[in-house]
């Protein structure tokens, strides 16, 4: 990532431009939004030349051209997301809890938050397609949500992004709690779970698929953090991690895996996990995240193929946009 003008720390004199203004100049978010995402690869046409020979006494097969003119064209079949194979019961997520905690509510009204995360996911899904076409493999389907320091909104952003992607027709999403020291995904969603990712990494007899919790929100599953250990970075750096993470998307080309990681400058697992993902979304809290902290955090995940910033906690919109009001919901 090319760095340009520095972002001022919040402790600088009051006459200095705010983090929002400096971040906009530094990263040129308007230019990023105007960039067109890569086109989807064309669908393969069925082989119509491999016609079987007719059985004795049967009429010869109709030529392809004649068949096309005689019968109406079949409608394309929408892709079907695979059903969960987890043996765990389906967890029911209380929509009132989501609403009270300002999360996106499935099938709820269009709000400014839901529209903001629609923009975020569109950019990420375009990047995922590009990396998959470039041959990145299963890592292209993994997104690391991180921040420099605690309390900058990474878990809130990870949950909302997962809820937004779950509404896609061509994708399902697995939300992984990778903050092993202070897991909060399950409590934030109001669900319960025991074994999780760290159990599968530490114990070869634990299948990671058996730890995935399906939810009553179509397209959303959750993988808990699992056991707490003082050697979480060492387990993530082991050879077994690659095999365990590969099983999360094995046979599921449409699955997106989102990891909610610990803060980069507070714990080491996030930097280690960044080596296994194709995309990192750095949550930057407006007027809180300092320039030095942001630079240090970005340096720890510099090996990640794609790094993007998510500006969180803004109090105004320089462009005057008010998402949600167009649908009649003036949030």
For the residues 156-178, what does the mean pLDDT come to?
97
Taking 50 as the threshold, does the pLDDT of residue 46 lie above it?
no
- In terms of phi and psi (left: phi > 0; alpha: psi -120 to 50; beta: otherwise), the region of 325 is alpha
The model's pLDDT over 229-269, given as tens digits with 9 standing for 90+, comes to 999 999 999 999 999 999 999 999 999 999 999 999 999 99
Do residues 5 and 22 make contact, with C-beta atoms less than 8 angstroms apart?
Answer: yes
For 314, the token pair is: 């803004």
Q: Check residue 174 and give its pLDDT.
A: 98
Dist. CA 126–CA 123, nearest whole Å:
5
CA distances for 217 relative to 65, 91, 106, 172, 253, angstroms: 45, 9, 7, 10, 20
Which superfamily does 88-287+303-320 belong to?
P-loop containing nucleotide triphosphate hydrolases (3.40.50.300)
- What confidence tier does 193 reach under pLDDT thresholds 50, 70, 90? confident
What share of the chain in percent tops pLDDT 70?
69
Higher-scoring residue by pLDDT: 326, 141: 141
Entry pTM: 0.73
Which contacts (CB < 8 Å, 24+ apart) does range 22-28 have?
23/284, 23/286, 23/309, 23/311, 24/318, 27/309
Taking 70 as the threshold, does the pLDDT of residue 162 lie above it?
yes
Q: Check residue 86 and give its pLDDT.
A: 60
Q: Check residue 38 and give its pLDDT.
A: 46
In terms of Cα–Cα distance, which of 138, 181, 139, 178 is closest to 158?
Answer: 178
In three-state secondary structure terms, 142 is strand
Mean pLDDT for the chain overall? 80
Q: Check residue 194 and give its pLDDT.
A: 87
Higher-scoring residue by pLDDT: 11, 184: 184
Higher-scoring residue by pLDDT: 252, 15: 252
The model's pLDDT over 219-236, given as tens digits with 9 standing for 90+, comes to 999 999 999 999 999 999
For 211, the token pair is: 């730890």
Interior CA angle at 186 toward 250 and 309, to 5°?
70
For 53, the token pair is: 């020979």
Interior CA angle at 296 toward 290 and 301, to 5°?
125
């Amino acid at each position: 990532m090319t760095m340009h003008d520095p972002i001022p720390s919040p402790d600088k004199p009051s006459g200095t431009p705010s983090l929002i203004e400096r971040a906009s100049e530094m990263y040129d978010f308007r230019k990023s939004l105007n960039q067109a995402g890569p086109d989807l690869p064309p669908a393969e046409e069925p082989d119509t030349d491999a016609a079987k020979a007719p059985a004795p006494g049967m009429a010869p097969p109709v030529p392809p051209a004649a068949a096309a003119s005689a019968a109406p064209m079949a409608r394309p079949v929408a892709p079907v997301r695979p059903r969960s194979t987890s043996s765990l019961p389906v967890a029911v997520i209380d929509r009132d809890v989501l609403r009270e905690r300002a999360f996106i509510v499935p099938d709820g009204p269009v709000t400014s938050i839901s529209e903001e995360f629609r923009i975020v996911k569109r950019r990420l899904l375009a990047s995922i397609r590009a990396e998959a076409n470039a041959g990145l493999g299963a890592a292209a389907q993994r997104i690391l949500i991180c921040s420099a320091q605690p309390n900058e909104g990474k878990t809130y952003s990870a949950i909302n992004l997962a809820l937004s992607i779950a509404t896609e027709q061509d994708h399902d999403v697995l939300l992984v709690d990778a903050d092993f020291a202070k897991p909060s995904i399950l409590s934030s969603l109001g669900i319960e779970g025991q074994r999780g990712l760290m159990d599968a990494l530490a114990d070869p007899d634990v299948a990671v698929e058996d730890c995935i919790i399906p939810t009553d929100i179509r397209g959303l599953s959750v993988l808990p953090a699992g056991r707490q250990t003082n050697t979480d970075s060492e387990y993530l750096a082991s050879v077994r991690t690659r095999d365990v993470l590969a099983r999360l998307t094995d046979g599921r080309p449409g699955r997106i895996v989102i990891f909610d990681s610990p803060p980069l400058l507070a714990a080491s697992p996030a930097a280690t996990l960044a080596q296994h993902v194709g995309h990192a979304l750095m949550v930057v809290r407006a007027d809180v995240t300092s320039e030095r902290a942001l630079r240090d955090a970005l340096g720890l995940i510099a090996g990640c193929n794609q790094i993007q910033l998510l500006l969180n906690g803004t109090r105004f919109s320089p462009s005057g946009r008010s998402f949600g009001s167009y649908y009649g919901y003036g949030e």
